[in-house]
Structure formats: structure tokens, C-alpha cells
Chains A and B, each alone.
Chain A
Amino acid sequence: MIEVRGLTKRYGEVLAVDDLTFAVRPGEVTGFLGPNGAGKSTTLRMVLGLDAPTSGTATVGGRPYADHPAPLRAVGALLDAGAVLPGRTARHHLLALAASNGIPRRRVAEVLAEVGLDGVARRRTGTFSLGMRQRLGIAAALLGDPPVLVFDEPLNGLDPEGIVWIRGLMRRMAAEGRAVLMSSHLMSEIELTADHLIVIGRGRLVADTAMRAFIDARSGREVLVRSPQAAALRRMLSAAVQVREDGADGLVVTGLDTAEIGALASAGGVELHELTARQVSLEQAFMDLTRDVVEYHTEHAPDGAKETVR
């Protein structure tokens, strides 16, 4: 379990993280989202004792990270997959980490096998692809068999097979009762993997909610109906219901749910070809939520695309 209370980091005039409070619970995958520069990495670095907070606290398993007698057995973290010495082999990279926490050597072979790098254990990491380095970083996080896992952008550089593998790994780790915190820019992946969401923008907490609730709250109550008798169906809907047309045979209805519309259509003898409650994607919900808080974004001016930095 990770608990962050009133966490704040100030760099001169800039508030990178502003009074952040949240908890990451065991048995769940928690997605950590925010636009670029929102303070995600800074937050994770403070949780792991790499950067000192200006104020506030972060604890893992009830105590500050640095107070754990063997930190790698308490928290496994992947912060920067590129962080390997190119001349060192994958095995030596992990052996040094294992040694520092008194973790037996056999764990190195075990985690290398787990992430599928056992065949290249004795190769220098300078020859690795980004995807292989991600796997090596994940192997390092698993070394101490920790109850808490933190992954910052673990999907960068992975091929589709690797992405599916990570999804399975995260789900499995959570099912075993571990607390898993994962940041990513790939919304579709977070939507498939995470149970819970923490969204920050400009260093502040924007949302801390279950994934389902987050999407439902932003999905509105739109229902798409397609029927060859769309005009007839429209006349049957009461004036209190908002309707707009979607093509020749489609209606987008707000104010009735799918069951109510289906019942109306059935009663009126109207043939339906489609009846769908419109769900926004996590991506859409995220964009709607963070539109006002993004630090850097692209505006499309009439005379062409123009990058503006606020």
C-alpha cells in the first residue's frame, strides 16, 4: 500500500507537485494518469525517496521508503528503462541490485526467465532494444518479490506481444494481492488493465476513482438507435427527450435508456437495427477532464497547426 499525504514539490517558482493526497491499495492495478509535465514522475521519485518533498509525506507499507530494511523486498520499481550501463550484461546488472539487498543469486535467473530474457542474460545491455530494456527493468522490479510494484511508462518500446504480456503480468500481480501502480500514456491499455485511476494535472489531484465510475460519469446518457423507420420512431419519443439525427437512419437519444427505447419501439412496431448505449473511451474521458489543466498542448489555428506553450 502506498499512501501519499499533502505531498508537495517546489522547484523555485514552479509547483511541480501541489498538495497531493491519495492511496494505492493492494489487490488492484491503479492507473496513474496525467498530461506531460503533470508531476507523475516527480511524485513517483518522492515516493521512492529519490527526491525530497518540499512538504508532505509518502509512505509505502506504512513507513517512509528509505526506512525499509531491504527496500527491494518492499517495493519493486521501474522508473527509467534506459537506465543501464551499456557495457554491463543483463545478469551483472541484476546481480549487483540483488547483492545490495541480500537477495539470493538464484532470483536473478528466476526473474530473467520470468521476463523472457534468460537467453540474453550474458549479453551487454547496450545491444538491447528498448523493449528488452523494459523487460530488464521489470525483472529488476520483481527481484525482491515485493508486495508493492511501481511502473512508470512500462509500455514504452514494447511490441504488441510485449504489451499483452505486461497486461497479464500486472493483472496477475494484483490478483496475488499486490498493490500495482502504473503510469502510461496509452489510455487504451490503462483502460484494459487498471481497476482504479488517479489522475493529476499541473501537480494537483484531478480524480481518484474506480475506472468504471470514471468512465460512466463522463459517458453522459446517450443512446444510439438505428432504424429504417427512424422518422416514425422519432415521433414516438416524448418532447422531454433530446434527439439529434445521426445519418439517414440514426438517432442519438438523451434522456431514455436502451430498455425504455427498446420497449417503445416494440410497442410501436418499429424495426431496430442497432440500439447502443454510448460509452466514451477512457481516452475521451481523460481528454475531457484534463482539457483545462494541460500544460502543453497543440492548437490548430486556421492557417495551420501551431504549437503553443502556455
Chain B
Amino acid sequence: MSASTMSAPAPAAGRATFVHCLHAEWIKIRTMRSTLAVVLGTVAFGIGLAALGGTAAGDEYPNLSAADRASFDPLAISLRGYLLAQVSLGLLGALVVTSEYGARTIVGTLTAVPRRTRVLAAKAVTLIAVALPVALLICLGGFLVGQSALADAGAPHVALSDPGSLRAVLGGALYLTLAALFGLATGTVIRSTTATVTTLFGVMLIVRGFAPALPGALGDWTVKYWPPIAGGQIVTGYRDPDLLAPWPGLSMMAVCVAVLLIAAFAAFRRRDA
């Protein structure tokens, strides 16, 4: 018989705090099997793509026209892995909350911590604690591997100390962390893992593919301001005057994520579990 059954049934002292909730969310994200899969897969893909992309682009460089050489962007080539990493980290962000709706553990979570703002804030903080280091690893690793591949192929390449390099690596990591939060916010509103993943693909990749095909002003506007496209400018070295500059572009993405997070908090607080 345990000690519990011996003691008097009166509520014990002690107040549950945000730090307690943070600890609980940390245990949860750590023991969710998809976390490890997403992290390892994203890092491997991001760095692998930088190696392959660097080699391929380097091999093509001698055959490029003068115009193409002028817009040759060693930074963007080495950081192209962010295209998929934004979706996979977005998926991780979504899973932090949609896995709870899928397995219905949200009932236990909100019974243990009825303060919903606290729950979602703790989820966001633990997500950042996982996503930001992973994003830094992908961007820095991709940069180093990609530039070394370009150098081996004899194509133009940049060093971390060159102008723009650190901005692209750190800014790229921030962009990917924002993508994870985008997934969290979307997942909180949608609640279903599948529907959220479909949304992430649509917003982050499909719009990017279709934007140039949209008619006239709409196409121009989308290419310039659509948050994931604008935010992606942070990893580029070549400046296209028709697009937003790196930091304004990233700010566009940040504002979009902030608005979605506000909506997610409001929905999470208001709706029945």
C-alpha cells in the first residue's frame, strides 16, 4: 500500500507554476517519438542538400552566362535546405499540440493545468528551445558544407566573416524557428495533424511555386509580400530590387506568425477542450 492511502485526504500545499508547466511540456516534447525523427531528418536533409547543391552548382558555374553569373548566389545555394526544413519544423510545432488532440491527451493536460494560456505559452517556449538550436545547426552546417563544396568545385564561395554570411545563417535560423511557431499556431487552430501538414505545404511551398503564375499585380504582390517568400529573403546574398530586403522580409514573416499566435491563444482559451 502506498503512502497516499495512509495520508489524510486534504489538498497538500504547493502552487503549480509556469515553471512546473514548462517542465511538463519539456518531458512531453522529449518523449514524443516524432521529435527525434523530425530533428534528425531535418538536420540530415538540410546539410545533405547543401553538399549536393554546392557540388552541382559549382559544376555548372563555368557554363553559366554572364547574367547568370552576376546573380549566382553562394549563400542561397548552401542554405536551400530551409525550404524543406521550414515544413518539417512547422510539423514539429504542430505536433506539439495536434498530437494531444489526436491521442486526446489534451483532456489530461488541461485537467492538470486548467490555465490554458500557461499551457500554450509553455508549449511555445519548449518548442523554441528545441527548434532554435536545430535551426542553427542546419543553417551553420549547411553553410559550412555548402561553401566547402562550392570551393572544391572552383566556384565563387563566401566565408562566415564575409558580409551577409552571419546574417543569413542567424537570420535563417530565426526564420526556421518562426516556421515552427507558425506550425504551432496553425495546429492549435486546426487541431488535426493531417490538415495542418497540408496547410503547411500549401502556405510554404505550393504558393511559392504558383505565385509567379498569378496574373499581374497579384502575382507581383504575392512574390514580394507572401510571408514565407518574404521571410526566405534572409538566406539570400543576391539582391533582387523587386523583392523585400532580408530583414524587412523576415519581419513580414514575424508579424504574420505573431498574428496567428494571437489567434491561436484566443481560440485555445475560448474553445471547449
**Which residues of A are in contact with B by a Cβ distance under 8 Å?**
26, 45, 48-52, 61, 65-66, 68-75, 77, 79-80, 82-89, 92, 95-97, 99-102, 107, 110-111, 113-114, 140, 142, 144-147, 172-173, 176-178
Contacts and interface: CB of A to CB of B under 8 A. Distances in A.
B5 A77 contact: no
B116 to A, nearest CB: 9
B83 interface: no
Contacts of B4: 107, 110-111, 114, 142, 145
Interface in B95-118: 99-100, 103-105, 107-115
Given A79-B111, A83-B103, A84-B103, A177 B24 contact: no
B273 interface: yes
B114 A69 contact: no
Q: Which interface class (under 10, 10 to 19, 20 to 34, 35 or more) fits B? A: 35 or more
Given A71-B112, A110-B4, A88 B31 contact: yes
B21 to A, nearest CB: 5
B16 interface: yes
A1 to B, nearest CB: 11
A176 B27 contact: no
Contacts of B111: 48-50, 71-72, 75, 77, 79
B236 to A, nearest CB: 38
B108 A140 contact: yes
B239 interface: no
A147 B5 contact: no
Contact of A71 (B7, B12, B16, B104): B16
Given A50-B107, A86-B103, A87-B32, 9 more contacts: A71-B113, A83-B103, A83-B108, A87-B33, A101-B112, A142-B4, A146-B11, A147-B9, A177-B9
A52 B270 CA distance: 9
B204 to A, nearest CB: 26
B23 interface: yes
A87 B27 CA distance: 13
Contacts of B272: 45, 50-52
Contacts of A61: 11
Nearest to B116: A66
Contact of B32 (A79, A84, A85, A95): A85
Contacts of A101: 14, 16, 20, 112-113
Most chain A CB neighbours (cut-off 10 Å) among B110, B112, B113: B112
B67 interface: no
A100 B32 contact: no
Contacts of A82: 104
Given A51-B272, A89-B31, A101-B112, A70 B104 contact: no
A110 B16 contact: no
B273 A51 contact: yes
Contacts of B5: 114, 172-173, 176
Interface string B1-17: 11111011111101111
B9 A74 contact: no
A45 B16 contact: no
Contacts of A79: 107, 111
B58 to A, nearest CB: 42
Given A79-B111, A100-B23, A111-B2, A73 B9 contact: no
10 contacts: A70-B14, A70-B16, A85-B105, A96-B28, A97-B24, A100-B16, A100-B112, A101-B16, A114-B1, A146-B11
